[in-house]
Amino acid sequence: MSGAEIYRAPLLRRLRPLLFLSPTLLILLSITLFPLVYSLYLASHTVILTNPMLSGWSLTDNLREVFIESPEYWESMLTTLILVVAVVTLEFVLGLMLAYFFFSNFRGRNLIFPFFLMPMMLTPVVVGTIWRFLFNGEFGLIAGLLKAVGVENYSILNQPSTALVGIVIADVWQWTPFMLLLLLAGMRALPRSPFEAAQVDGANAFQIFRDIMLPMMKPIIIIAVLMRTIDAFNRMFDIIYIMTNGGPGRASETLAVMAFRQSFEYFFMHQGAIVALSMLVIITIMVKILNRFIAGRKGA
């Protein structure tokens, strides 16, 4: 083997994995890089589909129009934060209770456990459709129960003050199993010796759960809450679009729904792009926080 071949061999060996991954990388770049670049173009120009002649460089004007002159963005941001905090809190509490329930040994546990995971297997569109019909004021199951107590044709999705409640119920029903899986896996990964020592010392089940299990599960809880927060912030569109379409009025309009409306209902593509990019920035910050916490745990 010549000297040149010996010099080239390590480089070729290093590039070989990239060669095998290149088809997948090209597909991923084509479906992620182009939309990102095109969104940046839309955000920096005035693009109105009903009047294409207005197109031109106007990044600062677009930013001022969305973040300063229009209160709709901050109202949608507040709605998004309310929904995210509500669903993540309820899903964590219910998921923790269910995880502790399935952590104990009882007859039939393996039989009923899959039924608690079924909602997570459904797509958000299906979940939104199911709960929209359940909340229907004329023939829905909830309406039927309300008619039994004398309330006629009432749907919480049609009331601005209660529309968010219906969305929270649907989202909690679907994604509590996700929190259940993460927390249950964390519980089963804990060492058994601290629990056995506490039982020998006379601690009851609640004391063991509060003083031993929860402190030991703190890293898992933080990771689970951060992951679900990122996911909830990113997914606040499908269920809302199916159940309320952001209504009544703008009562349930999140940032994702606002981006869709601005782009494909009002045809202000530049405003929709700016809203979507602001969501990307927020999600990127949350992902960085999650990665830093995980890296810190590994270092510890």
Residue 172: predicted pLDDT: 95
The set of residues, in sequence order, having a beta carbon less than 8 Å from that of 87 and lying 6+ positions away, is 168, 171, 172, 175, 232
Are 93 and 74 within 8 A, CB to CB? Answer: no
Q: Which domains does the chain have, with CATH numbers?
A: 1-43 (no CATH), 60-135+161-299 (1.10.3720.10)
Classified as helix, coil or strand, 151 is coil
pLDDT confidence band for 183 (50 / 70 / 90): very high
C-alpha closest to that of 100 among 212, 249, 250, 261:
212
Is 269's pLDDT higher than 60?
yes
Q: What is the pLDDT of residues 53-75, one digit of tens each?
A: 766 778 888 899 899 888 899 99
Are 90 and 168 within 8 A, CB to CB? Answer: yes
Residue 292: predicted pLDDT: 83
Please tell me the least confidently modeled range out of 145-159, 172-186, 258-272.
Answer: 145-159
Residue 55: predicted pLDDT: 67
Cα 27-290-296 angle, rounded to 5 deg: 120
Cα 182-184-190 angle, rounded to 5 deg: 105
DSSP string, 196-242: HHHHHTT--HHHHIIIIIHHHTHHHHHHHHHHHHHHHHHHTTHHHHH
Instruction: Give the residue-averaged pLDDT of 153-174.
Output: 88
Segments in 104-162 forming alpha helices (H): 109-121, 124-134, 141-148
Report the mean per-residue pLDDT for the chain: 85
Q: What is the pLDDT of residues 117-157, one digit of tens each?
A: 999 999 989 999 999 998 887 777 887 777 777 777 778 88
Instruction: Give the residue-averaged pLDDT of 268-292.
Output: 89
pLDDT confidence band for 211 (50 / 70 / 90): confident
Surface-to-core class of residue 290, CB atoms within 10 Å of its CB (0-12 exposed, 13-18 middle, 19+ buried): middle
Is 196's pLDDT higher than 60?
yes
| Full-model pTM | 0.84
Surface-to-core class of residue 87, CB atoms within 10 Å of its CB (0-12 exposed, 13-18 middle, 19+ buried): buried
| Residue 57 falls in which region: left (phi positive, over 0), alpha (psi -120 to 50) or beta | beta
Instruction: Give the residue-averaged pLDDT of 177-202.
Output: 88
Surface-to-core class of residue 80, CB atoms within 10 Å of its CB (0-12 exposed, 13-18 middle, 19+ buried): buried
Is 8's pLDDT higher than 60?
no
The set of residues, in sequence order, having a beta carbon less than 8 Å from that of 289 and lying 6+ positions away, is 226
